[in-house]
């Protein structure tokens, strides 16, 4: 499935609790993340041949093993990220809600957002 299809398949209220678990400041930024989600549902995706791959990863500093996707997959404009295919390795033990929440977090924090999201982005990272 494409990133946009994941967003279309879930209501924001279904994934918001995961945002707070993955990004503790997000517990106080519901309005901003809701705005991002609504915008992402409205943006027309650009097809991309690149993928976002969820796999077992190792933190180079702590050597901790976790499930996730490489940050480099989230570099680019939101409309391009929405058109990327999401691949999940069989060894990944994340729920669909966790995947969608993680996609949202990474798109918001690492992607290039539209100007209409500037104030919310500044609030999230500020």
HSE of 70, CA atoms in CB hemisphere, 13 A = 8
The pLDDT of residue 125 is 95
Alpha helices in 10-95 (DSSP H): 12-22, 30-42, 78-81
pLDDT > 90? residue 121: yes
The model scores a pTM over 0.85: yes
pLDDT of 49-60, one tens digit each? 999 999 999 888
Measured CA to CA in angstroms, residue 115 lies from 82, 112, 121 at distances of 17, 9, 10
Residue range 89-117, pLDDT digits in tens: 999 999 999 999 999 999 999 999 999 99
Which residues contact residue 84 at a Cβ distance below 8 angstroms, ignoring those fewer than 6 apart?
A: 2, 3, 48, 50, 51, 52, 73
Alpha-carbon span 78 to 59, nearest angstrom: 26
Mean of the per-residue pLDDT values of the chain: 96
Residue 92: partners with Cβ closer than 8 Å, 6 or more residues away: 54, 55, 56, 67
């Amino acid at each position: 499935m494409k990133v946009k299809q994941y967003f279309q398949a879930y209501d924001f209220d279904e994934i918001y609790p995961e945002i707070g678990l993955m990004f503790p400041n997000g517990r106080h930024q519901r309005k901003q993340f809701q705005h991002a989600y609504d915008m992402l549902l409205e943006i027309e995706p650009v097809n991309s041949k690149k993928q976002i791959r969820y796999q077992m990863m190792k933190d180079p500093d702590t050597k901790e093993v976790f499930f996730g996707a490489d940050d480099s997959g989230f570099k680019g404009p939101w409309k391009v990220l929405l058109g990327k295919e999401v691949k999940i390795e069989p060894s990944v033990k994340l729920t669909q809600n966790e995947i969608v929440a993680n996609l949202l977090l990474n798109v918001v924090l690492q992607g290039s957002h539209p100007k209409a999201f500037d104030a919310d982005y500044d609030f999230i990272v500020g």
